[in-house]
Amino acid sequence: MRKLLSLVVAVCITFSAMADEGMWLLPYIKKMNSKDMKAKGCKLKAEDIYSAEKSSLKDAIVIFGNGCTGEIVSEQGLLFTNHHCGYDAIQKLSSVEHDYLKDGFWAMNNAEELPAEGLSVRFVRHIFDVTADIVGSIPSTTSQAEFDRMVEANKKKLIKDLEAKYPGMNIVVPSFFGGNQYFAFAYEEYTDIRLVGTPPSSIGKFGGDTDNWMWPRHTGDFSIFRVYAGKDNRPAEYSEENVPYKAEKWLDISLKGIEEGDFGMIMGFPGSTQRYMTSYEIDYMLEVDNPQRIFIRGERQQILRKHMDADQAIRIKYDSKYAQSANYWKNSIGMSRGIEKLNVRDDKAKQEAEFQAWAEKNTLPEEHFTEALSLIERSQNVARKENAALQYLSEAFLQSVEIVQVMLMIEPENAEQFYKNFDVEVDRAVAKRMFQIYRENNDMLPAIYEKIDSEFAGDSDAYVDWVYDNTKLGTFEGLVELMSAEDSSLVMNDPVYELSMSILQLYRSLIPAVMDAEALYEEGHRLYIKGLMMMQPDKAWASDANFTIRLTYGNVLPYSPADGIVYNHYTTLDGVMAKEDPSNPVEFTVPERLKELYRAKDYGRYADKNGDLPVAFLVNCDITGGNSGSPVMNAKGQLIGLAFDGNWEAMSGDVAFEPELQRTIAVDIRYVLFVIEKYAGAKWLIDELTIK
């Protein structure tokens, strides 16, 4: 009887024949990718990139915060990442008096570095292929329920063993290829992280929402932090006695610049892709999931923008929230556009027809490969209405109406920070709109709508006003008063409690149907991916992203988005000046100091061979969310830029890689260093770097 392990081993020893697609697992670079990397221009050995025995480039790459990548660039734990990755930490440190988002911040020595509360970085210390431990003994005919039970039992035992072997480390065992392969990762987390430098938003966020996902791009999307440790160089809670982390490995920096065709590689933590998505899932995405997200977030963002533009204090409070929401909102717009424009669904349907024909001809009934696609199709249909309502509840209420979040907050110690970035009148306005659009677009309503109809004559605005006028949760002091009261009925009598419980009650009632659909999907997805790899055993398959460390590589290349249009592979400071728009000061303001340097052409050693200052460039690497802040390295493994975005024309890339169109947008390291030295005058940081 076939075992899942035999398939995965066969896949892992197949050499890559792909063009540039692939977020590759580090332990198999030598077997799968080194030959292709060398052909594209890489000068490194596989062991220089990843080694289980000695220091390698992998040891300089970290998870930054909860969803980005960073890289260590000095022996003293200096860290580069994107401006938008550091945005939340910068916002928390900002105030009306010290608006680091608007004005930037630069420490001029270690003593001036600012502790970033709640921020951490994680180093990957060990990686193990544990497929044999997790699924090696599970027969291929096992039911999904039994498969899940056995996997969880095996994972629990393995994690316990590894935690004993590596005390103090966090052990994570995610699945790959839909549950056909497993790796264990041992992370070491440092929690004393300090802000060292950030450009003003007019540089770090230049172009704003208008330029987001677009090329040509002129954004100096970087920020600088430092990792601190105890005197033993191990993780320690914040203390003035802590010292800069002494790095075992850091990235050298190249000022040589980039030319078209140059080799480029990116290492980081891509969050999530769905390259094995079927036509059935695409139908749901285009018809339900993306349209709902786009509409709900768009309505909320209009309200936030109005209040942010009118009040500086509100702008500081909501800047980070707005940016996070708008990024995924625009991503969803581009994703739908790209999938439709590039006929992704038709390509998926063709692959599915080929798979079904293969499965019926080449597999046994008890292996269930012939059922894989029908399982996925059923999973998208049996709970379609419940899934749609669940998403609406989450987007419109649980994520948008913040006062509900307060009532559901599990950790009260987070509440004080929450209220620092909360405005009750902004939230009131959002809540009114969310109540309106939920009723307009759903017939599965929370029970609170019965109260609105019976006591407020169906006027949800009047109901919202009543809630916000009578709740204690509009202020932190009110929350403390409510939670410290001896009479627990005071909490239950607060109008937000009734509202929150009504939303949760409906949410929970939808879960069983959604979970049943998810079980069908997991079984079909696992079988489909396993079958595809069996159908094409000579193809090098890359697993979907799941926020584990990966390598992608390619070349610096331009692209043509449409007939008659060719985009160059780089931009310069000339483009920043050309985009300045006094009528749009939020997105296209150019700082006066930057103009002075531009007029004087005072670029120092950071100018290119033509005397221009490079700002951004393109490389055809395979990235997604989570890769933000990832280092773009040259053939020698030296830092040449920071990845921060993808391009609009290939927004379908999470579902289907488009080699002719898909590009990574990176800020050129020369622009980063120019801003640090020439704009900010923080040459002490330049002196700390290893520059080639």
Of 31, 89, 11, the closest CA to residue 629 belongs to: 89
In angstroms, the CA 302 to CA 488 distance is 38
Is 218 known to be catalytic?
Answer: no
User: How far apart are alpha carbons 471 and 566 in whole angstroms?
Assistant: 57
- Let me know if 539 is exposed, middle or buried by CB neighbors in 10 A (0-12, 13-18, 19+): middle
Phi, psi torsion values for 264, nearest 5 degrees = -145, 140
> Is 120 an annotated catalytic residue?
no
User: Do residues 576 and 282 lie in contact, with contact meaning Cβ atoms separated by under 8 Å?
Assistant: no
DSSP state of 188: E
Q: Do the bridges between strand 570-572 and strand 614-619 make them parallel or antiparallel, or are there none, so unpaired?
A: antiparallel
Q: Which of 20, 36, 74, 84 is catalytic?
A: 84
Q: What is the token pair recorded at 287?
A: 């018809």
266 CB-side CA count, 13 A: 35
Q: How many CA atoms lie within 13 A of 163 on its CB side?
A: 10
CA-CA distances (angstroms) from residue 583 to 200, 216, 586, 589, 594? Answer: 19, 20, 9, 9, 19
Among the listed residues 34, 140, 202, 628, the single catalytic one is 628
- Residue 671 one-letter amino acid: Y
Catalytic hit among 133, 221, 544, 645: 221
Hey, how many other C-beta atoms are within 10 angstroms of the C-beta on 411? Answer: 6
Query: Which residues is 175 bridged to in the sheet?
Result: 182
**One-letter amino acid for residue 540 of the chain:** A
Residue 174: name the closest of 265, 270, 81 by CA: 270
Active site residue 202: no
Q: How far apart are CA 145 and CA 48, in angstroms?
A: 42
Sign of CA dihedral 571, 572, 573, 578: negative
Residues with active-site annotation: 84, 221, 628
